[in-house]
Amino acid sequence: MHQFRAANGPNARAKGYRLFDFDMLGLAPALTEALAHAGLSQPTPIQNQAIPLALEGHDILGLAQTGTGKTLAFGLPLIDHLLAMPGKPAPKTAKALVLAPTRELANQIAENLRGLTVKTKIRVAIVVGGQSIGRQIELLRRGTDILVATPGRLIDLMERDAVDLGTVRHLVLDEADQMLDLGFIHALRKIAPRLGTPRQTMLFSATMPKQMEELSRAYLTDPRRVQVAPPGKAADKITQSIHFLEKPRKPAKLREILSRDLDALTLVFARTKHGAEKLMKGLVADGYNAASIHGNKSQGQRDRAIKAFRDRTVTVLVATDVAARGIDIPDVGYVVNYELPEVPDNYVHRIGRTARAGREGEAISFCAPEEGDLLRQIQKLMKVEIPVASGKMSAMASLEKVGRRKGPARRSGRKSGAVAEVEKAGTAKRRRPRRRRAA
């Protein structure tokens, strides 16, 4: 449970938070014992605000930077409620459902919850894509207290009548903004009507796009909003910098940065699956201890790569945005954005893989001429200018203009699933074909 070791922020009292100790919250003895065993006494700011409200049964809309302990913020009150519920779960049923957008994040959540329930009768099950659905059907046959799932695999199991969600009385949507971006809004609309009522719903994220406001109105009832940092703000202990350089110079610059501290854990983000794999193979060929994770890797390969990175068998992990929210390794010292993300929010989540649990970290980004607009979107979101480590933005801007004259401007940014759906509906009415003039 190392990921829960963040202390209260130094400005917590100055911001007017009422600070609790965990043993003041009236949690079940098994939970206070698990927290004490992990060396935890005080909640982080998001936990401090969310846990008392969640224990009272309120729906929660929680906003906090990555690495600040959101899992514990919903996990503690969720487990406390379940411990007070009599009876075992019936076959194929669950009492609580936690939805996460990626396999890595779902695995991380399940691991954390199991750490809290180790001395209880609470059962935690996980179902994600990339694993045997037959085994998952067998797992759910016994029923479970907490089901952690990715939306796609959960719907597969629902369609096979392998799970009955009618007994779910607690729903958690973790990283809900990414669910919107990945188009999971359709999945949520299939899942929500199958859940039991009344229920408590908790929605947590590090960013707050407008579409998530709409999501909260649709799925939460009179929610209590808790926020410990402006949406889109990076953790205070992350040192950020940007290098302006042309694309062919990126490989050399990356190797220069990696060579400064060969023992440090460094997470390198690429934009595409093919690009991540090619970059990793090039680093291995040059003698760097590297591995990769992306959508073309099997779940077993991804799990082994993350374990090797966590165990320091591998010190450089090259990844796509599949890992932007699914890796919680406190020892990550550096995040390198080899390519800037097309979705500005993902920059915040990427760099949030470092400076976790109260530690310090460094985020280094490369910006090629064609990525200038992506950088502007990121800085607009964060309301800061990232310090320049090398190169000049003015030179980049002129290069970008030359590139635009040579061809059409490149589209930057992916639309979220919710936005795409709205736009599709708005253009559903076809235009009438033009009449041809008589010859």
pLDDT digits (tens, 9 = 90+) for 38-96: 888 888 888 999 999 999 999 999 987 666 788 999 999 999 999 999 899 999 999 99
Of the pLDDT bands very low, low, confident and very high (cuts 50, 70, 90), residue 227 is confident
- Give the 3-state DSSP-derived string for the chain, with helices as H, strands as E and coil as C: CHHHCCCCCCCCCCCCCCCCCHHHCCCCHHHHHHHHHCCCCCCCHHHHHHHHHHHCCCCEEEECCCCCCHHHHHHHHHHHHHHCCCCCCCCCEEEEEEECCCHHHHHHHHHHHHHHCCCCCCCEEEECCCCCHHHHHHHHHCCEEEEEECHHHHHHHHHCCCCECCCCCEEEEECHHHHHHCCCHHHHHHHHHHCCCCCEEEEEECCCCHHHHHHHHHHCCCCEEEECCCCCCCCCCEEEEEEECCHHHHHHHHHHHHHHCCCCEEEEECCCHHHHHHHHHHHHHCCCCEEEECCCCCHHHHHHHHHHHHCCCCCEEEECHHHCCCCCCCCEEEEEECCCCCCHHHHHHHHCCCCCCCCCEEEEEEECHHHHHHHHHHHHHHCCCCCEEECCHHHHHHHHHHHHHHCCCCCCCCCCHHHHHHHHHHCCCCCCCCCCCCC
| pLDDT exceeds cutoff 60 at 323 | yes
Does one domain contain both 251 and 210? no
d(CA 17, CA 6): 16
Q: What is the pLDDT of residue 433?
A: 42
| pLDDT exceeds cutoff 50 at 274 | yes
Of the pLDDT bands very low, low, confident and very high (cuts 50, 70, 90), residue 151 is very high
Of the pLDDT bands very low, low, confident and very high (cuts 50, 70, 90), residue 233 is low
Lowest-pLDDT choice from 132-136, 207-211, 387-391: 207-211
Does one domain contain both 197 and 305? no
Does one domain contain both 212 and 246? no
Domain span at residue 184? 2-227
Q: At what angle are helices 70-83 and 45-55 packed, to 10 degrees?
A: 20
| pLDDT exceeds cutoff 80 at 410 | no
Q: What is the pLDDT of residue 428?
A: 38
Query: Does any domain span residue 168?
Result: yes
Of the pLDDT bands very low, low, confident and very high (cuts 50, 70, 90), residue 16 is very low
Query: Does any domain span residue 12?
Result: yes
Residue that terminates a domain, selected from 227, 258, 282: 227
Does one domain contain both 254 and 211? no
Does one domain contain both 69 and 214? yes
| pLDDT exceeds cutoff 50 at 267 | yes
Mean pLDDT of 101-108: 88
Query: Does any domain span residue 427?
Result: no
Of the pLDDT bands very low, low, confident and very high (cuts 50, 70, 90), residue 416 is very low
Lowest-pLDDT choice from 14-18, 172-176, 321-325, 418-422: 418-422
Query: Does any domain span residue 432?
Result: no
d(CA 403, CA 371): 11
Residue that terminates a domain, selected from 199, 227, 255: 227
Does one domain contain both 189 and 51? yes
Residue that terminates a domain, selected from 227, 259, 282: 227
Q: What is the pLDDT of residue 69?
A: 84
Q: What is the pLDDT of residue 328?
A: 75
Q: What is the pLDDT of residue 273?
A: 94
pLDDT tens figures, 176-206: 877 776 678 888 889 999 999 999 999 988 7
Residue, of 213 and 77, whose pLDDT is higher: 77
Q: What is the pLDDT of residue 232?
A: 55
Query: Does any domain span residue 176?
Result: yes
CATH code of the domain containing 347: 3.40.50.300
Does one domain contain both 260 and 212? no
Does one domain contain both 29 and 136? yes
Does one domain contain both 262 and 124? no
| pLDDT exceeds cutoff 70 at 422 | no
Query: Does any domain span residue 319?
Result: yes
Phi-psi map region of 67: left, alpha, beta (phi>0 left; psi -120 to 50 alpha): left
Query: Does any domain span residue 232?
Result: no
pLDDT tens figures, 335-366: 999 999 998 888 988 898 887 766 789 999 99
Does one domain contain both 178 and 292? no
Q: What is the pLDDT of residue 397?
A: 54
Query: Does any domain span residue 433?
Result: no
pLDDT tens figures, 362-402: 999 999 999 999 999 999 988 889 999 999 875 555 444 54
Our CA dihedral for 96, 102, 108, 111, rounded to 10 degrees, sits at 40
Domains of the chain: total: 2
Out of 203-217, 257-271, 388-402, give the one with best mean pLDDT: 257-271
Chain centre distance of CA 152: 16
**Whole-number average pLDDT of the chain:** 83
Residues forming beta bridges with residue 367, ordered by sequence position = 244
| pLDDT exceeds cutoff 50 at 163 | yes
Residue, of 16 and 213, whose pLDDT is higher: 213
Does one domain contain both 126 and 261? no
Lowest-pLDDT choice from 167-181, 201-215, 396-410: 396-410
Does one domain contain both 246 and 391? yes
Q: What is the pLDDT of residue 20?
A: 65
